[in-house]
């Protein structure tokens, strides 16, 4: 398959691994943060960790939008849906994420009208088909998904669909990276930059990371060859004493981003002063709110939102894992109280969550090997 097979070619993978071994200074320990949860899954799924030299540590970052959402926002969205004649809609990723009184799916089991949609425009169509109901779309995501929410709100306004609103939880990637770099317990040498977000924002917004923080950043794709090439590019920069932004994912990411998408976002959204990130606290200008010109479609304007604040269970270490301070397996609840079947934190259920990646690819592999070993 074009753009897949050549990025999974064993010969190219071995060449890249050889180049990494040649470039990595054995007397030095490297810590590279992959910002995006999609990279974390690729790293575990394809076993990339196992072919890197032991002195290169890949640290998982905060680039999973479901994971960074605090539990209180889930409760806030569900509290709106408790009202009469409301249909709660969200992406499938959100459905098993626990709020204080259970996940959206658990609320559905108790009788709430909860539906999975594949896009915000599906939610809008649902509103058009159900004029006697109010359809609430629980919007999450970084700049990757924010443009589709913006375009849907523009369409709702143009069509005059009034039984539709958005509970906006869109966050922006750059303040998240900034918060990681400001964290006193964090040491990162360089970043594997997020591929999906960058299709919208381009590469230019990362220039401050290189310029002000002296950290190389390489925007990367999600296939094994992409990630290994990104590591090669980072090592080359570090060897040369450079810190710049490079684009490994040129086949998808334009340097200047997607102008049409950015325009739609600017039309509909503005920055919030502060927004809470799970485990990372309140980060200034790190999230989007709906502009007053679209307030009739803003659930936070139309409904009384309780503004629930919930602290995570004491033993859960989602914040430390999100910041890359701990590996998933170092959380006290990993694989015991917290599993994909019975998640405590969103990192264990989201398709981009690092705990889910580690559990599904590493933990299960070890379990299987142990079983085979026991049987032999
Ligand atoms: S194992 Fe569960 S509780 Fe621990 S960090 Fe991961 S999601 Fe959070």
CA distance 44 to 41: 5
Cβ–ligand 1 contact at 135 (below 6 Å): no
In tens digits, the chain (376 residues) has pLDDT values of 677 778 888 899 999 999 999 999 999 999 999 999 899 989 988 989 889 999 999 998 888 888 899 889 999 999 999 989 999 999 998 998 888 889 999 999 999 999 999 999 999 999 999 999 999 999 999 999 999 999 999 999 999 999 999 999 999 999 999 988 888 877 899 999 999 999 999 999 999 989 999 999 999 999 999 999 999 999 999 999 999 999 999 999 999 999 999 999 999 999 999 999 988 889 999 999 999 999 999 999 999 988 878 777 788 898 889 888 889 999 999 999 999 888 888 899 887 889 999 998 877 666 665 665 655 5
Residue at token pair 């009202």: 83
Domain ranges of the chain: 1-314, 318-375
**Cα of 173 from ligand 1 centre, angstroms:** 22
Q: What is the pLDDT of residues 44-84, one digit of tens each?
A: 889 898 899 999 999 988 888 888 998 899 999 999 999 89
Is it true that domain 1-314 has CATH number 3.40.50.720? no
Residue having the nearest C-alpha atom to atom 7 of ligand 1: 345
- Supply the pLDDT for residue 1: 67
| DSSP label at residue 111 | T
- Supply the pLDDT for residue 185: 75
- Supply the pLDDT for residue 320: 87
Residue having the nearest C-alpha atom to atom 1 of ligand 1: 334
Under 8 Å between Cβ of 117 and 123: yes
Task: Phi first, then psi: give them for residue 208, nearest 5 degrees.
Answer: -65, -30
**Cα of 35 from ligand 1 centre, angstroms:** 18
- Supply the pLDDT for residue 257: 97
CA distance 142 to 173: 6
The DSSP element (H or E) to which 208 belongs, if any, is helix 207-213
Atom of ligand 1 nearest to the CA of 335: 1
Cβ–ligand 1 contact at 71 (below 6 Å): no
Atom of ligand 1 nearest to the CA of 332: 4
- Supply the pLDDT for residue 375: 57
**Cα of 52 from ligand 1 centre, angstroms:** 25
- Supply the pLDDT for residue 31: 95
Cβ–ligand 1 contact at 328 (below 6 Å): yes
Cβ–ligand 1 contact at 316 (below 6 Å): yes
Judged by phi (left if over 0) then psi (alpha if -120 to 50, else beta), residue 102 lies in left
- Supply the pLDDT for residue 370: 64
Under 8 Å between Cβ of 286 and 172: yes
Atom of ligand 1 nearest to the CA of 345: 7
Cβ–ligand 1 contact at 358 (below 6 Å): no
**Sequence-separated (6 or more) residues with CB below 8 Å from residue 112:** 78, 81, 82, 88, 104
């Amino acid at each position: 398959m074009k753009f897949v097979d050549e990025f999974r070619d064993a010969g190219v993978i071995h060449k890249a691994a050889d180049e990494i071994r040649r470039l990595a200074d054995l007397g030095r320990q490297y810590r590279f943060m992959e910002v995006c949860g999609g990279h974390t899954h690729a790293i575990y799924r394809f076993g990339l960790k196992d072919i890197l030299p032991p002195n290169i540590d890949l640290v998982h970052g905060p680039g999973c939008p479901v994971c960074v959402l605090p539990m209180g926002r889930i409760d806030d969205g569900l509290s709106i849906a408790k009202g009469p004649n409301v249909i709660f809609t969200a992406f499938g990723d959100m459905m098993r994420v626990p709020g204080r009184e259970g996940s959206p799916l658990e609320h559905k089991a108790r009788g709430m009208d909860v539906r999975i949609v594949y896009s915000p425009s599906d939610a809008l169509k649902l509103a058009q088909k159900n004029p006697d109901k109010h359809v609430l779309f629980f919007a999450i995501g970084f700049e990757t998904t924010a443009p589709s929410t913006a375009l849907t709100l523009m369409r709702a306004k143009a069509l005059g669909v009034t039984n539709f609103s958005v509970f906006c939880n869109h966050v922006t990637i750059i303040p998240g990276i900034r918060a990681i770099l400001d964290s006193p317990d964090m040491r990162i040498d360089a970043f594997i930059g997020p591929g999906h977000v960058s299709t919208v924002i381009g590469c230019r917004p990362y220039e401050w990371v290189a310029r002000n923080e002296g950290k190389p950043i390489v925007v990367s794709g999600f296939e094994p060859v992409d990630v290994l090439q990104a590591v090669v590019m980072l090592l080359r920069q570090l060897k040369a004493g450079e810190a710049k932004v490079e684009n490994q994912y040129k086949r998808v990411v334009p340097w200047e981003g997607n102008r049409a998408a950015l325009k739609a976002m600017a039309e509909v959204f503005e920055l919030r002063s502060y927004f809470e990130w799970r485990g990372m606290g309140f980060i200034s200008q790190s999230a989007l709110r709906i502009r007053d010109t679209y307030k009739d479609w803003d659930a936070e304007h139309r409904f009384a939102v309780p503004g629930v604040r919930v602290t995570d269970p004491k033993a859960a270490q989602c914040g430390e894992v999100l910041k890359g301070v701990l590996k998933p397996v170092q959380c006290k609840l990993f694989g015991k109280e917290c599993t994909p079947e019975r998640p405590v934190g969103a990192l264990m259920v989201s398709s981009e969550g690092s705990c889910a990646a580690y559990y599904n690819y590493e933990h299960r592999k070890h379990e299987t090997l142990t079983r085979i070993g026991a049987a032999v």
